[in-house]
A and B are shown apart, each in its own frame.
Chain A
Amino acid sequence: KQEVTQIPAALSVPEGENLVLNCSFTDSAIYNLQWFRQDPGKGLTSLLLIQSSQREQTSGRLNASLDKSSGRSTLYIAASQPGDSATYLCAVIPMIKAAGNKLTFGGGTRVLVKP
């Protein structure tokens, strides 16, 4: 059974510092990995999707890397801003298509960027 872990559960940084968020998964047979942002009491916003054949994806200040062999992904947010304060979730889709495209989520990392 796939398990996704995000450590730490919470992180506080001063504005301007780079953020490094970690995600690990136990089964490397994944189809792709997706990073989401969730604001308090709200739904999820997709940030980046990395296909299993890719090593990284970039969008603006965000960069996500994927190392399937070690079961890890890292989300980097450059020059953090108070508006980046939110919970960040990673999720994987299994390679076995019979399992559908259901996402298995980590518990999230709650980020606070202090002005």
Chain B
Amino acid sequence: DTGVSQDPRHKITKRGQNVTFRCDPISEHNRLYWYRQTLGQGPEFLTYFQNEAQLEKSRLLSDRFSAERPKGSFSTLEIQRTEQGDSAMYLCASSLGSPYTDTQYFGPGTRLTVL
């Protein structure tokens, strides 16, 4: 299967701990996006990469959050000093970056629970 994959699928942590999530996009997709979705809501944009360059960060992404995409392939999202409000589904998506029909393909998500 060549879809977007995310690891882990579920993560339970205690408040104050650091967590890191990984996303592997569809190969040859040069754009990669991170979104966060809380229960009963639509996903909200966090950040996106064009190859290895992080081009935009949402105001939702506090200084406790950091994302990287070394070598323009997989990406990691780290949350430091987790808070209960960080509990959510973290979704990754990738796209070709086509100027006209840039469909984003989503991974299965990582569900984070902060106790």
- Verify if B65 is at the interface (C-beta below 8 Å from A): no
Would you list which residues of chain B between 82 and 108 have a CB under 8 Å from chain A?
91, 93, 95, 97, 100-108
Minimal Cβ-Cβ distance residue in B for A89: B42
User: Taking A42-B109, A43-B107, A43-B109 as contacts, is the C-beta distance between A101 and B43 under 8 angstroms?
Assistant: no
Which residues from A are CB-within-8-Å of B95?
A: 101
21 contacting pairs across A/B (C-beta < 8 A): A4-B42, A36-B106, A43-B91, A43-B106, A43-B108, A43-B109, A45-B106, A46-B103, A49-B101, A51-B100, A89-B43, A93-B102, A101-B33, A102-B45, A103-B45, A103-B104, A104-B45, A105-B43, A107-B40, A107-B41, A107-B42
For residue A51, give the distance in angstroms from its CB to the closest CB of chain B: 6
Residues of B within 8 A of A34 (CB): 103-104
Chain A: number of interface residues, binned into ranges: 20 to 34
Give the B interface residue count (CB, 8 A): 30
Show the binding face of B for A, using Cβ within 8 Å: 4, 6, 31, 33, 35, 40-45, 48, 55-56, 58, 91, 93, 95, 97, 100-109, 111
Contact in complex: A99, B106 (CB < 8 Å): no
Closest Cβ–Cβ distance, residue B13 to chain A (whole Å): 18
**Alpha-carbon distance between A93 and B41 when the two chains are bound, in angstroms:** 18
Which residues in A have their C-beta under 8 angstroms from that of B106?
A: 36, 43-46
A104 to B35, CA, bound (A): 10
Contact of A100 among B6, B44, B48, B109 (CB under 8 A): B48
Q: Is the CB of B103 within 8 A of A49?
A: yes
For A49, give the chain B residue with the smallest CB separation: B103
Known: A34-B104, A42-B109, A93-B102. Contact between A101 and B91, CB under 8 A?
no
How many angstroms between the C-alpha atoms of A99 and B56 in the bound complex? Answer: 8
Which residue of the partner chain A has the closest CB to B109?
Answer: A43
Check B103 against A106 for contact (C-beta < 8 Å). Answer: no
Query: Of B35, B56, B104, B111, which contacts A46 at CB under 8 A?
Result: B104
